[in-house]
Structure 1
Amino acid sequence: MSEPSSSLSPQQQWQKAVLMYAKRINRYVDTGTRDGFKGLHQPRVPDSEHLLPAWQAALEASNQGPHDPAARLAFREDWPPAHFPLVPRLESQGRMIPTLALLADGSLLARIGAPYEAGSVVHIDNDSIHTLEQVEGFGVCPQRRYFAWARAEGIQLTDGFQGPQVASFPWPDPHADASEGLELEPAERPDATCLIPFPDGRRVLLVSARGVFVLDAAGATRLLPRLEDIQQELAEGVEPENLSLDLCMEHGAVSPDGQWIAVGEQSGSHLVYDAQLRLVAQIGPASEYPHFACFNQRGDRLLLNACHFYNGASLGVAVADLPGLSTDYYSDDPRTPVLHEGARVYAAASRGDEFIIGDAYGYLRAFSETGEQRWQHYVGSSFSAMDISPDGQTLVAATYAGIIVKIALDAGRPAWQIGTGEHHEVQRWLFWKDFAKPLQW
């Protein structure tokens, strides 16, 4: 007979609730996957809101004093990580973490705060969290060598983290070169949704809601909105003062060799440019609105996601097929097969022959480059950023809830983990608004 909850301490109640819920959910998924979900009832989420004050007090206490890996491990066993107990706090406490990078020494870089709001860039090394002065955002090239730093005066490229500067670019005027002969008032500088240096350290892809540009020593070249589309709107009678150059769901990716640039936004097709910035492919999405793009580590496959509300579909295309490729929405072209259905993708990584995506429902999902579904791993809340070590053994991911996790892949699944993969979350950081400092869990 189980012990009544009233006789258990808050810590014991938390531990019991998390372990029981994970066991039931994993059994539910296993049964449904094997036999079908018809007639199955999803397990009820335990009542745990009353445990939050005790959890927070214990977490804050565990973050006092010097870094002690053994004590951290013991705390995670006593208070195992879970999403459902945190839900009452997330709306008021969570902060988007739009950019994340795993450095060679195992430390992390993260941008805290959405691109459109004041934020900071921090360097995380276990308990040590240092804010980089006068840095608004950052990005890392696909080969992990060059870093882009967004500052008030412009964007600088360095050769390595804290390495020498190799290039700098002013912020582009989002209205510059918008249309020949069109007089538009100068616009405020864009807020970078993401920055991606090219592998040669000479250019950077700037993705923003005010436009997508490639910056180099000669200036800025607009990729989105396309000049042809702007001119078409004007030709159709849109008055210049009513012309909107802003983008929604803007995104971009640069291939590991720097030869291909995939960009998109909600109102068109997936677009791919070559290294000379010539449009070479227009690919119809597999759902309503283009939302995300990612090249695999080898650089020979491209993943393209489109969404509809919190769902979506991802198609794959071989880089060799890109030149001249043109397909319609929901095309059944064999060169653009759908690899995964159901996920609105916010972040992704790749290792070997598989893509790992982070969806709107808080799941990491892995599938092969041919569409074989492999595993899922639950963290909770919509993902916002992701990175993976070159050896494919360590994954880091961030969410809109202000949480960063570090996961040892293929290292065995702990009892509290919800998922089908044998992966072990080993560290977690909470960047919550009301915390005096970020806390490690």
Structure 2
Amino acid sequence: MKNLQEASERWKNEGHEYKTAINEWLDIIYINKENPTTECPEETRRDMAEYVLEELIEHNKNGKHKEFRELFPADNDPLFNLLDDATWQKVRKVAILQDNRIVAKIGDYYDWQGVYIIKDDEITLVDGLIGYGFSDDKKYFAKVHLTKIDVHEGWDGPIVSTFSIPYGTTFEEHQYESIEVFSTGKQVVLVTYGEIFILNEDGFEVIHAYPKDENEEEEDEDEEEEEMFLHYPNAAVSPDDKYIVVGSQSSYHIVLKNENGKWVETANIEPRSSYPHKVCFNYRTNQPLLALSSCHFSHSSTLGVFVNDIEGLQASGYSMDSEKIFVVDDRRWIFSIYPSARGFYLGSNDGYLWLKITDQEASYVHLGGTIMSIDVAPDRQHIVVGTFSGQIILLRWQDVVPVEGKNMRVDPYLITNLPVIDEKRYLFRTDNEPLIW
């Protein structure tokens, strides 16, 4: 690059041209409902990737990240090859607190795991935490330590419950995945790669584990341990605490209901694709919904079912043998789901954040990197996402009056048909201080 200003002008000009072209190309598909007659436009700034990343790091060192953003509006498309490697720490979970602080869990079960609190430009690692979760209304937060789980009233509030790790062990043995909190703060669902538990004042109950075959001959210890590993363990608690959905690669979507103090199966739904992957209840719509996502390489899918239709339901998403289930999305591998009054936000491995209720209509914004987590601020004006490529991206809704047949995008540097603005990004690199863009 000749100089910073020339690089900035190229970044902006070519970025604006590319985003305009690809948005118009996508409008043909999503507004005109037609197939484009031209090839999809291509990004032209890939050769700038290393230079721009170096400048981002340098500007952060000098406290000039705001100046950098003015020069180079945030955009992952040119950086695609640099973001798709192991130098970035995975952002597994994000949440926006009542005071607009962001809480982020970084790292996977086989990596270093930690939790950061972000307040504007201040990014602080929380001592001793490897994860967290919260109730649907965010009244209660579970803070996961290596040897115990504390449930607080509010993020900074008093402890209302403390739970020991099952079997008296630590999370070094259990391989922690996630935690869900009941509306009372007195129970949690703990998801690990060995088993899924309910923890309460009486101890713990296993509600999902790798199925045992009593007829199999004894295997050696290493093979047995590998065999008992739960791939894609997932769980969700309904906001009214009435149902829990659990699943993993070796199961169907299983809905449990509490009967006489025990959680028993009340519904069993074969996934649309092969492996149950993510689930989410939505009580924000007129009729409560449940989304069931499953994955199988190139063919992945998300089913929907009304909560009132759950009990006693035995259905196959593969053959669609029940009128009580429907398809929310039939194309994408979904890694995160968030409930909306308009349906579900779906975070995909293709870098898109989708807003859908059926497979017929779609609102979207492309951010880049598999979207691992989604949350919406109490003001309903901000959306935060965490990505596999080490980023926390803060979006802001802009008030726009919709016009039929017209795209509502307002940010010239986003691929989207939504009125959202890319407001700020935080990037986490291995063995480096977090970056702000």
TM-score normalised to structure 2 length: 0.88
Q: How does 1:52-63 map to 2 (within 5 A)?
A: 52-58=50-56, 60-61=58-59
How far residue 239 of structure 1 moved from its aligned partner, in angstroms, is: 4.6
Structure 2 distance, partners of 1:53, 1:378, is: 23
How far residue 321 of structure 1 moved from its aligned partner, in angstroms, is: 1.2
Q: How does 1:280-291 map to 2 (within 5 A)?
A: 280-291=266-277
Change (3 A) 1:5 1:366: farther
Q: How does 1:38-437 map to 2 (within 5 A)?
A: 39-58=37-56, 60-61=58-59, 64-65=62-63, 72=66, 75-90=68-83, 91-173=85-167, 189-225=173-209, 229-230=211-212, 233-237=213-217, 239=219, 241=221, 242-243=223-224, 244-275=227-258, 276-298=262-284, 300-330=288-318, 331-368=320-357, 370-411=358-399, 413-433=410-430, 435=432, 437=433
1:171-229 deviation per Cα after TM superposition (whole angstroms, max 9, x unaligned): 1139x9xxxxxxxxx99631221111111111111111111111112222111116xx3
Structure 1 distance, partners of 2:291, 2:44, is: 37
Change (3 A) 1:333 1:247: same
8 Å Cα contact 1:11/1:55 also seen in 2? no
Structure 2 distance, partners of 1:7, 1:295, is: 48
Change (3 A) 1:359 1:160: same
How far residue 58 of structure 1 moved from its aligned partner, in angstroms, is: 4.7
Structure 2 distance, partners of 1:57, 1:366, is: 34
How far residue 387 of structure 1 moved from its aligned partner, in angstroms, is: 0.9
Structure 2 distance, partners of 1:430, 1:7, is: 21
8 Å Cα contact 1:293/1:305 also seen in 2? yes
Structure 2 distance, partners of 1:7, 1:100, is: 33
Change (3 A) 1:27 1:155: same
How far residue 102 of structure 1 moved from its aligned partner, in angstroms, is: 0.8
Structure 2 distance, partners of 1:27, 1:6, is: 32
Change (3 A) 1:19 1:274: same
1:20-56 deviation per Cα after TM superposition (whole angstroms, max 9, x unaligned): 2211211111123426335420112214334533453
How far residue 390 of structure 1 moved from its aligned partner, in angstroms, is: 4.1
Structure 2 distance, partners of 1:201, 1:434, is: 36
Change (3 A) 1:50 1:199: same
Instruction: Structure 1: give runs of 5+ residues left out of the alignment.
Output: 177-185
SS of alignment partner, residue 9 of structure 1: helix
Comparing 75-84 with 357-366, greater Cα deviation is found at 75-84
- Whichever residue aligns with residue 156 of structure 1, its letter is D
- Whichever residue aligns with residue 386 of structure 1, its letter is I
How far residue 351 of structure 1 moved from its aligned partner, in angstroms, is: 1.8
Change (3 A) 1:22 1:170: same
Change (3 A) 1:187 1:58: closer
TM-score normalised to structure 1 length: 0.87
Structure 2 distance, partners of 1:54, 1:239, is: 53
SS of alignment partner, residue 278 of structure 1: strand
How far residue 429 of structure 1 moved from its aligned partner, in angstroms, is: 0.7
The size of the alignment, in residue pairs, is 417
Structure 2 distance, partners of 1:21, 1:359, is: 22
How far residue 391 of structure 1 moved from its aligned partner, in angstroms, is: 4.8
Change (3 A) 1:240 1:219: farther
Structure 2 distance, partners of 1:13, 1:7, is: 10
Instruction: Tell me which residue corresponds to 2:402.
Output: none
Instruction: Structure 2: give runs of 5+ residues left out of the alignment.
Output: 400-408
1:141-182 deviation per Cα after TM superposition (whole angstroms, max 9, x unaligned): 1120111111122111111112111111121139x9xxxxxx
1:75-95 deviation per Cα after TM superposition (whole angstroms, max 9, x unaligned): 434211111222232214222
Comparing 108-117 with 28-37, greater Cα deviation is found at 28-37
SS of alignment partner, residue 256 of structure 1: coil
8 Å Cα contact 1:157/1:166 also seen in 2? yes
Structure 1 distance, partners of 2:154, 2:233, is: 27
How far residue 101 of structure 1 moved from its aligned partner, in angstroms, is: 1.0
